[in-house]
Amino acid sequence: MFKDTIEVVSTGLSIYELVNKSRPSLQRLVKRLRGGEAKIVVFGAGGTGKTTLGKMLAGESDPSILADYEESRTTEKFNFKREQSGIIIIPPGQGRRDDEWLAAFRQVSDGKFRIIINVVSYGYHSFREISYVSDKLYQQGMTVEEFVEIYTEKCRQKEINQLKEISTPIKMSKAVPTLMLTLVSKQDIWWQDRDVVTKHYSDSEYNNTIQEILSTRGTANFSHEYVSTSLIINGFTSGTGEPLKSIASDYSQPLQFANLAEVFKKIDEFCQ
C-alpha cells in the first residue's frame, strides 16, 4: 500500500516541481488526460483530498493547491485550457446534491469510466469553516484527542458506507475491465498508526466490499489496488485553523515524494 523505507535522501525539489516536471510517468499521464484518451472518475467523502488530487493530476502548479478547504458543491471537471478534461470529481451525495450523485452513478454503470479512484483518509476528513466545538459530535468537556477519536471513527464509517453505495454501479459497469484504485491520503496525519491503517482497509469491511465487487464482476473484468500518500503535509486542523493532530514525527518529505511517485506510477499504469 505504501513505501515506508526510502532510499531517496532528498530530491531538493518542491512538490510542484515533482508533480510537474520530475516524473516522466506523470507527464505522460497528464498528456493522456488532456488528450481525453484517459478518463478518471474520483469519488470520496468531502474533505478527503479529491480536489487536491485532481489539481495534481491536471498538472496545476498553482500554489493555491495548498489553500484552505472549500467544500466542492458541484461536480468538478478539470478544464485543461481548451482541451477536454479527463478528470471528473464527484461530490459526495447528500441532500441537494443527490441529482449529481445519481447522474454519476448512471455514467459509471453505463461504462463511461474505466478508471475509478476512491479517496479515503482514515477518517481525517477536513471540515468546513467551523471550529471543532461547533461540530455535532463535540460534547462539552471533551478533549481534542477525544473529539478526534469520535470524529474520525464516524468518518471511517462514512467511508465504508460510501464505498458500499458506489459498489452498486461498479458491479453493473459495462466498462471492461474496470480498474479501481483506493487512495488512502493524509499519511502525514496517521503515519504512526500505519499498521492499523493498512489493516483497516485491506483486512476488514472495506476490503469485504471490494471483494464483493470482484466476485460479481470476475477477475477478468475488475481489478482493484490500494495506494497511499500524503498529497500535502499539513497535519489535521479544524475549519478555523485549530490544531487537532500534528504531523507524525516520523513522517518526512522524502517519504511523501516516494509515495506520491508510486501513486502517479500506478495511475499511469491504469491509463495504458
Return residues touching Mg ion (CB under 5 A): 50-51, 72
Question: Closest CB to ligand GDP among 210 and 233?
Answer: 233
Q: For residue 177, give the nearest of 114, 116, 224 by alpha carbon.
A: 114
Question: Closest CB to ligand GDP among 52 and 209?
Answer: 52
DSSP string, 73-126: -S-EE---TTSPP-EEEPPP--GGGHHHHHHHHHHHHTT--SEEEEEE-TT---
Closest distance between ligand GDP and the C-beta of residue 100, in Å?
Answer: 14
Question: Could you give the CA distance from residue 173 to residue 159 in angstroms, rounded to a whole number?
Answer: 21
Question: Closest CB to Mg ion among 51 and 152?
Answer: 51
Mask 57-86, x = binds ligand GDP (CB under 6 A)? -----------xx--x--------------
Question: Closest CB to Mg ion among 50 and 125?
Answer: 50
Please compute, for residue 134, the number of CA atoms within 13 A of its CA located in the half-sphere on the CB side. Answer: 9
Closest distance between Mg ion and the C-beta of residue 158, in Å?
Answer: 15
Neighbours of 16 (CB within 10 A): 17
Binding span for ligand GDP by CB under 6 A among 108-116, 159-167, 214-222, 226-234 = 226-234
Across the beta sheet with 222-228, the strand order is: 76-77, 87-89, 40-44, 115-120, 178-184, 222-228
Q: Could you list the residues that contact ligand GDP (CB under 6 A)?
A: 44, 46-52, 68-69, 72, 126, 185-186, 188-189, 230-232, 234-235
